[in-house]
Amino acid sequence: MTKDLSVSTLLDFYGGLLTEKQRDVMELYYNDDLSLGEIAEQQGISRQGVHDSIKRSAEALNEYEKVLGLAAKQEDYKAQLVLFKSLALEVFEECKKVSFGRNIAEKTITLLETLDEKLDEFDNSKYIESI
């Protein structure tokens, strides 16, 4: 069974919608990187049962994403932040070229710091916890 790591992201968003048993199996497989056999032994079910549970749970997570689209919205939001950061860097570079741009440059630095904080939230998964 090959792992679709995008399911791990969906698990972060929608894991709470799965049953406790499904969530446990998915977390062991995707987050703890246990094999099907290891999970089967730990959960007291067959290896095939683990495989079926992962498959059904992944299908459910994909369906939740299709309906709710939270992961896609997060990606879009992050892409917008990256674009804003790029534009702010361009403004900053232009301000360095002219003497009267110091005030604008200082404000641009503040904007860049804010954008960096927001982008760091994605890397630390704080965005998911805030929704």
pLDDT at 123: 72
Which pLDDT tens digits describe the chain residue by residue (131 residues)? 677 889 999 999 999 999 999 999 999 999 999 999 999 999 999 999 999 999 999 999 999 999 999 999 999 999 999 998 898 888 888 877 776 677 787 888 888 898 888 888 877 765 555 54
pTM: 0.71
C-alpha triplet 98, 84, 105: angle, nearest 5° = 25
pLDDT at 111: 87
Burial letters for 31-48: b for 16+ Cβ neighbours within 10 Å, e otherwise?
Answer: eeebebeebbeebeeeee
pLDDT at 125: 60
Residues 67, 78: Cα–Cα separation, whole Å: 20
> Can you list the positions of beta strands (E) in the chain?
none
Q: How many residues does the chain have?
A: 131
